[in-house]
Amino acid sequence: MSSSAPPPRRRRRRRSLAAATVLTCAAGLLTACGGDSGKPVLTWYLNPDGVEVLDGIAERCSTDRYDIETELLPTGATDQRVQLARRLAAEDDTADLMNLDPVFVAEFANAGWLEEMPADTLTDDTLEGIAETVRWDDKVYAAPLWANTQVLWYRKSLAEQAGLDMSGPVTWEQVIDAASSVPDAKVGVQADRYEAYVVWINALIQGAGGDIISDVEAGKDASVDIDSDAGRAAATVIQQLAGSSAAQGDLSVSREGTSLPAMYSGPGEFMTNWTFVYQNYKGLVGGDITEEDFADLGWARYPATVEGEESKPPVGGIDIGVGAFSKHPDLALEAAQCITETESQVRLAVDAGLMPATQSAYESPELAEAYPADLLALFQESVDQGGPRPKSAYYATISSAIQSVWHSPESVDPDTTPKESAKFLSEVLEGKALL
Amino acid sequence: MTSTVATPATKGGRQAPETSDRAKAESRLAAKLVAPALVVMLVVTAFPILRALWLSFYNYSLTAPEDKEFVGLSNYLTALTDGLFWRDIGMTVIYMVVTVGVELVIGFIFAMVMHRVIFARGVIRTSILIPYGIITVVSGFAWQFAFTYQNGFVNGWLPFIDDQFNWFGDTVPAVIAIMVSEIWKTTPFMSLLLLAGLAQVSDDMIEAAKVDGATWWQRLWKVIIPNMRAAIMVAVLFRALDAYRIFDNIFVMTNGAVNTESISFLTYRQTIEQFQLGMGSALAVLLFLSVLLVAFIIVKLFRVDLAQARGEG
């Protein structure tokens, strides 16, 4: 009896200790929530690109009136969209600031989830391609933070060998023919069944003067224009590449990363890809490639779909949105302004390779040190004259519908694919077909 | 609480013929005791079910709330006339039939082992049950790594498979990989239910059959299995309904690519990814109805009434 008596008491003591700990923690949490003397905390949801730089910006933009805390979103764009949308649909008042992929803006703004931005968010300084992504219904719903674009990367020696003059604009047909004329030379693109394949298709169609859909503000009743000469011109390019010796072996699952290694194996490649490519290959110098190899890397404007018509390079990047249900919308708008100012954009470009959305940031001396002048000019021109993907409240549906018909690239046929995808897209938008 | 129960009991004891009063009081008490749980049940299950039914009559996108419009049965018509819906239903039935069939056989063998084992009983029973303690998503990831040709071991272990074989590149191999994960994870559950059935079979009957000269095989088919029909039916019913709603393994291993998606996955995609709450709800209602149908078929097929299965017979 005496030996069994102590344990319960000991247990009780331990239990009260635990309870005390819980209480202390809860009290600690409460004070943390309340902040020092009620200083508001703004939560900024980040996509995982350049997080360290963004953390630094959050710290710099915190003032004595509010603090900015960062939260990380999932890696995939689809998952980011789902998480943000679910928070906003539930009127989450902690969603103060959000990093938005440009294609989310129309969808979110249309749902009434984004606070309208002040008129001076966009100025003449903002590059037009990215400025276009934040406009919806004649208002501005987000502030461009950084702007991405695609250019044509290639090996100078390959272009020379194939006899392709890169001094002026080139067309997709010329690029594919040039690569086919050199054994083992490739044309790198993104054609897996995912968003970047739609980026390619959209750029091809816009390059031929068309659009996937128009009258986007009509929502579900938008006019589906993919079954057009422009749609057929785009399908012709994809068909030509898929049927040529220049197609990558893994064309139907090729992504941004998978098309990189072909640049420095054999004769090299022509590749359409985002701005990160420069820093990527620069980082390989001394390891996988030599200084000479790197000097052989060339860049040119995104290829034209049809001869004589200017190409419409793809535009990506990140826009900052302010949640409509934020407890402190005024402070969040102020923070968004600080986050997107020139200094932040320069830091992102120099430290993380994420290119600016304004002309003044492009003109900063720090950037001129980190990148060759002609490349900076090309990026800037490319964003300025680029074409956005359809701005629609139904963008995710449109993108999936296009992917489902246009994939795989080997099956694309100008006579049938645009027509079929127009029919399917209309049916899906009307709710008459399952996606 | 106990005093309320005790009062009618003593009263009933004194006045023997008036047992109906006691029964009435008891059932009244039972109703009172059950009521809170019933209310909670209604709030957390009936409300969402009715709301899903209501939403299924609308064309409603979460991102375009103003375009919400009543469309009647149009969502159901669209789904039922769409090839994709039937393809996914077919795929789901294949998942269900194959996994439950394999699990029944392996599960029965495991149940026999657990029932008969004389040494290290605890260790053997525990090790058979371990996979069931693992979360399905984790099982999905583990098997996905096992099957990938870059770093998995499956290709290396199977002599007739090329080392570079991509299990997730085509429908049939991808479905096999998903099924392996599903079977590995849920067979222990099946064997646990069957073990309960095995324990119910009286040793006297088996002894009697032995005395009558029945072989081991005859005892299995003529004595053991007929006497645990109720347990088998419960096991099959539970697992079939579970398997019909397969989602986690597909989500983790292929994300629905190469035509591996099930009807649950289609519902998820419409609702969560596409934000089509109307169509998603219609699909969820159809999923619910088809689950009922599967349950009905299994109950009819085994001709076992559920009261008996609960051990009341």
Which residue in the set A110, A397, A434 is minimally distant from B79, CB to CB?
A434
- Nearest CB among A82, A107, A433 relative to B82 is that of A433
Separation in Å, CA of B261 to nearest CA in chain A: 12
**Whether residue B51 sits in one domain with residue B85:** no
| ipTM score assigned to the predicted complex | 0.70
Residues B29, B122 within the same domain: no
**Run means of pLDDT, 10 residues per run, chain B, 313 residues:** 41 54 91 94 92 94 84 93 94 96 95 88 90 94 89 89 83 94 95 92 91 92 89 92 94 86 93 90 95 91 62 47
β-sheet bridge partners, residue A155: A297
State whether B244 and B206 are in the same domain. yes
- The C-alpha angle with vertex A278 and arms to A276 and A282, in degrees rounded to 5, equals 120
Give A-chain residues touching B85 at CB under 8 angstroms: 434
The yes-or-no verdict on residue A424 having pLDDT over 50 is: yes
Q: How many CB pairs under 8 A join A and B?
A: 56
> Can you tell me the mean pLDDT for A19-40?
52
For residue B265, what is the domain's CATH number? 1.10.3720.10
Does the N-terminal peptide bond of residue A408 adopt cis geometry, omega within 30 degrees of 0?
A: yes
Q: What whole-number percentage of chain A has pLDDT above 90?
A: 73
Please give the Cα distance from A231 to A225 (Å, whole number).
Answer: 8
Please count the structural domains in chain B: 2
Together in a domain, B29 and B83: no
The residues near B95 (Cβ < 8 Å, ≥ 6 apart) are B175, B178, B179, B182, B243, B244, B246, B262
The burial of A413, by beta-carbon neighbours within 10 Å (0-12 exposed, 13-18 middle, 19 or more buried), is given as middle
**Alpha carbon of B172 to those of A292, A407, B137: distances in Å?**
48, 20, 21
Nearest CA in chain B to A105: B63
Under DSSP, is residue A162 helix (H, G, I), strand (E, B) or coil? Answer: helix
Q: Is B305 left (phi over 0), alpha (psi -120 to 50) or beta?
A: beta
Token output for A140: 């501005």
What pLDDT score does A37 carry? 56
Residue B71 lies in a domain: no
Residue B117 to chain A, least CA–CA distance (Å): 37
The residues near A424 (Cβ < 8 Å, ≥ 6 apart) are A401, A404, A405, A433
Give the integer Cα–Cα distance in Å for A422 and A239. 18
DSSP string covering A273-330? EETHHHHHHHTTBTTTB-HHHHHTEEEEPPPBSSTTS----BEEEEEEEEBTT-S-HH
Res B116: pLDDT? 87
Tally of CA atoms within 13 A in the half-sphere of B129 that contains its CB: 12
Residues in B closer than 8 angstroms to A82, CB to CB, are 272-273
- DSSP code of residue A171: B
List, in order, residues 6 or more apart from A362 with CB less than 8 Å away: A356, A376, A379, A380
Domain of B14 in residue numbering reads as 2-55
- Band of the pLDDT at A215, cuts 50, 70, 90? confident
Angle subtended by helix axes A417-429 and A229-242, to nearest 10: 120
B36/B83 same-domain check = no
Q: What is the pLDDT of residue B230?
A: 86
* Phi and psi, residue A9, nearest 5°: -65, -40
Q: Cβ separation of B62 and A89 shorter than 8 Å?
A: yes
Q: Do A394 and B62 touch (CB under 8 A)?
A: no
CB–CB of B274/A399 below 8 Å? no
Mean pLDDT of A417-432: 92
Residues of A in contact with B79 (CB under 8 A): 434
**CB count, 10 Å around CB of B123?**
10
The answer to whether B100 and B302 have CB atoms below 8 angstroms apart is: no
In whole angstroms, how far apart are CA A83 and each of A75, A333, B262?
11, 22, 23
Torsion of CA B145, B146, B149, B151, to 10 degrees: 60
Q: What is the pLDDT of residue A362?
A: 94
Which chain A residue shows the shortest CA-CA distance from B87? A434
Same domain, B98 and B42: no
DSSP letters spanning chain B: -HHHHHHHHHHHHHSTT-HHHHHHHHHHHHHHHHHHHHHHHIIIIIHHHHHHHHHTTEE-BTT-GGG-EE-TTHHHHHHHT-HHHHHHHHHHHHHHHHHHHHHHHHHHHHHHHHHH--SSHHHHHHHHHGGGGS-HHHHHHHHHHHH-TTT-SHHHH-TTS-TT--TTSSHHHHHHHHHHHHHHHHHHHHHHHHHHHHHHS-HHHHHHHHHTT--HHHIIIIIIHHHTHHHHHHHHHHHHHHHHT--HHHHHHTTTTTTT--HHHHHHIIIIIS-BHHHHHHHHHHHHHHHHHHHHHHHHHHT--HHHHTT--
| B114 part of a folded domain | yes
Distance (Å, whole) CA B31 – CA B23? 12
CA of A193, closest CA in chain B: separation in Å? 9
A102: distance to nearest CA of chain B, Å?
Answer: 16
Q: Residues of B numbered 265-304 whose beta carbons fall under 8 angstroms of chain A's beta carbons: which are they?
A: 266, 269-270, 272-276, 278-279
Question: Is it the case that residue A24 has pLDDT exceeding 60?
Answer: no
Please say whether the structural domain A149-314+390-429 has been given the CATH code 3.40.190.10: yes
Cβ(A399)–Cβ(A103) under 8 Å?
Answer: yes
Are B18 and B106 contained in the same domain?
no
The mean of the pLDDT values for chain A is 89
Which residues of A are less than 8 Å from B275 in CB distance? Answer: 85, 396
In the structure encoding, which two tokens stand for residue B221, read together? 């088919």
Residues B121 and B215 in one domain: yes
B62 is a domain residue: no
DSSP 8-state class, residue A267: T
Residue A159 has pLDDT above 70, yes or no: yes
3 state DSSP class of A143? strand
Amino acid, single-letter form, for residue A336: A
- CB distance A230 to A387 below 8 Å: no
B189 falls within a domain: yes
Residue partners of A32: CB distance under 8 A and separation at least 6: none
Cα separation, A261 vs A276, whole angstroms: 14
What is the enclosing helix (H) or strand (E) of A234?
helix A229-242
Tell me the CATH architecture of domain A39-147+315-384.
3-Layer(aba) Sandwich (3.40)
Q: In the prediction, which pLDDT does B12 show?
A: 42
Q: Is A198 helix (H, G, I), strand (E, B) or coil?
A: helix
What is the pairing mode between strands B69-70 and A97-100? unpaired
Q: Hey, of B57, B63, B73, B255, which one would you mutate to test binding to chain A, going by the most A CBs within 10 A of its CB?
A: B63
Domain ranges of chain A: 39-147+315-384, 149-314+390-429
- Average pLDDT (A424-435) is 88
Residues B21 and B137 in one domain: no
Asked, for residue B157, whether it belongs to a domain, the answer is yes
Q: Please report, for chain A, how many H helices and E strands are present, in that order.
A: 18, 12
Does pLDDT of A30 surpass 70?
no
Q: Are A111 and B64 in contact (CB under 8 A)?
A: yes
- Determine, for residues A110 and B74 on separate chains, whether the beta-carbon distance falls below 8 Å: no
- A39-147+315-384 and A149-314+390-429 have identical folds: yes
Same domain flag for B206 and B270? yes
User: Please, which residues 63-102 of chain B have a Cβ atom closer than 8 Å to chain A?
Assistant: 63-65, 67, 71, 74-75, 78-79, 82, 84-85
Query: Is residue B67 in some structural domain?
Result: no
Closest-approach residue (CA) in chain A for B278: A431
* Contact of B282 with B290, CB cutoff 8 Å: no
Residue A201, SS3 per DSSP: helix
Same domain, B29 and B81: no
- Looking at the fold, whether B229 and B106 belong to one and the same domain comes out as yes
Distance CA B251, CA A362 (A): 43
Chain A: give the shortest CA distance to residue B272, in Å: 7
* Residue B21 forms part of a structural domain: yes
Dist CA B225 CA A394 (whole Å): 56
d(CA A121, CA A338): 11
Q: Least CB-CB distance to A111: which of B63, B74, B78?
A: B63
Under the banding of pLDDT at 50, 70 and 90, the label for residue A81 is very high
Average pLDDT estimate for A189-210: 94
- Please report whether residue B65 resides in a domain: no
- Between the CA of residue A425 and those of A225, A235, A394, what are the distances in Å? 10, 16, 11
Report CB contact under 8 Å: B78, A82: no
Beta-carbon contacts of B91 under 8 Å, excluding residues fewer than 6 positions away, are B175, B259, B260, B261, B262, B263
What pLDDT is stored for residue B161 in this prediction? Answer: 87
Please report where in the chains the tokens 């002048």 appear, as a residue.
A373
pLDDT value for A383 = 93
- Asked whether the predicted pLDDT for residue A286 surpasses 80, the reply is yes
B272–A111 C-beta distance less than 8 A: no
